[in-house]
Copies of this chain bind each other. A is one copy, B any other.
Amino acid sequence: MSVTAAQGFEAAGVAVGLKSTGANDVAVVVNRGPKKVGAAVFTSNRAKANPIIWSQQAISDGIVEAVVLNSGGANCFTGSFGFQTTHQTAEKAAELLGAGAGDVIVCSTGLIGTGDEVFRAKVLDGVAKGIAELSTAGGEAASLAIMTTDSRPKTAAITRDGWTVGGMAKGAGMLAPGLATMLVVVTTDADLTAAEADTALRAATRVSFDRLDSDGCMSTNDQVTLLASGASGIRPEGDAFAQALADVCRDLAEQLQGDAEGASHDIAIEVVGAASEEDAVVVGRSVARNNLFKAAIFGNDPNWGRVLAAIGTTDAAFDPYDVDVSFNGVRVCTAGGPDRPREEVDLTPRRTHILIDLRVGDAAATILTNDLTHDYVHENSAYSS
């Protein structure tokens, strides 16, 4: 499991005091090759943290030798001092690994606006300690080091014909499209070119992390990085790698959903009968972001009126008076009017399925979201994050 499941990778997770609990807070993942192929996608938020600004440059040549990740501070809106911290982090890792600083990706997560001298000293300390502890069994420790409000680490791995894809993720809040408050590193020993890695990563994130919309809030620090070592010596056939990568990313996205802050329901909003996949995504997202719908699910109320009111705000192709809506298999709304009585719907299970049939085409998409609960309000009002 995790980022050391594939051949050619070492990792470590260490504690340097960024977390007041004393838990692991700096992770290092290193690609030992023989190839050092990398690809990455970043938050589409225009408010980008310093590690995002750095890593967007570092990834441009398609070569990545190491990823350094820290929790306990986002290093976002911390000015030129903060950018220098990221730069020094990459330089220190490069020096200790005998690599170039431009081949080191940096990821940070935590409170926006914090990243002072103490933060910098601890992160640099973590780079040294982490590189000293690198091992092919370090994947689990690394997955612990990137946790913030996560209640558990998230890892996944798939092995196909002689090659493996494995990854780790963190994220429990500020989960929204354009990438959620999350850091993800996926490794593979498949033999890929940089272009192949980039294409497969963009395709995989489009149908996994980009369809997770827990609370509509887009982070400043999100990043998904793919490292390919080629250590298996195997070039996957056809789209086998793209499929395996998408499976790992979907698995990690569902783990993020399942651990979302304060949530009591994991809701899959499946939109079918759409004129286009884009329309299906827009419609699903409008429901996922509707606080009244989200509160109704928390209250175990199959309130289909709130679903129709939400999708009515979009410009997707459909007739509001010819839409069907089902909650957990019970069709409560047919052609924009009442159907089965709401008493027939059981919304007590955590896993919740909403089916929306727009009845205009053949396209479909599923958006993953969570309900709006007292615990969500509590976790996001009682603590800064």
- Interface, chain A (partner B; CB < 8 A): 44-48, 74, 76-79, 111-113, 173-174, 178, 215-220, 289-292, 295-296, 298-299, 301, 303-306, 308-314, 320-321, 333, 336-338, 372-374, 376-378, 380-385
Contact = CB atoms under 8 A, between A and B. Distances in A.
A333 B74 CA distance: 16
B377 A292 contact: no
Contact of A77 (B174, B305, B381): B305
Contact of A217 (B220, B310, B336, B337): B310
A291 B384 contact: no
- Chain copies in the assembly? 2
A117 to B, nearest CB: 14
A380 B296 contact: yes
A369 B44 CA distance: 25
Contacts of A112: 303-306, 308-309
A151 B219 CA distance: 36
Shortest 10 CB-CB contacts between residues of A and residues of B = A112-B305, A47-B312, A299-B381, A295-B380, A45-B312, A46-B312, A47-B320, A295-B381, A298-B381, A79-B337
A112 B337 CA distance: 10
A305 B113 contact: yes
A78 B337 CA distance: 6
21 contacts: A44-B313, A47-B309, A47-B311, A77-B321, A77-B337, A112-B305, A112-B306, A113-B304, A113-B337, A173-B292, A174-B292, A218-B313, A219-B309, A291-B376, A291-B380, A292-B385, A295-B377, A296-B381, A298-B377, A299-B382, A372-B380
* Chain B CB within 10 A, most for which of A47, A217, A309, A378: A309
A379 to B, nearest CB: 8
Given A220-B305, A301-B384, 14 more contacts: A45-B313, A47-B311, A76-B305, A77-B305, A77-B308, A77-B336, A79-B336, A79-B337, A111-B305, A112-B306, A216-B290, A296-B380, A298-B381, A372-B377
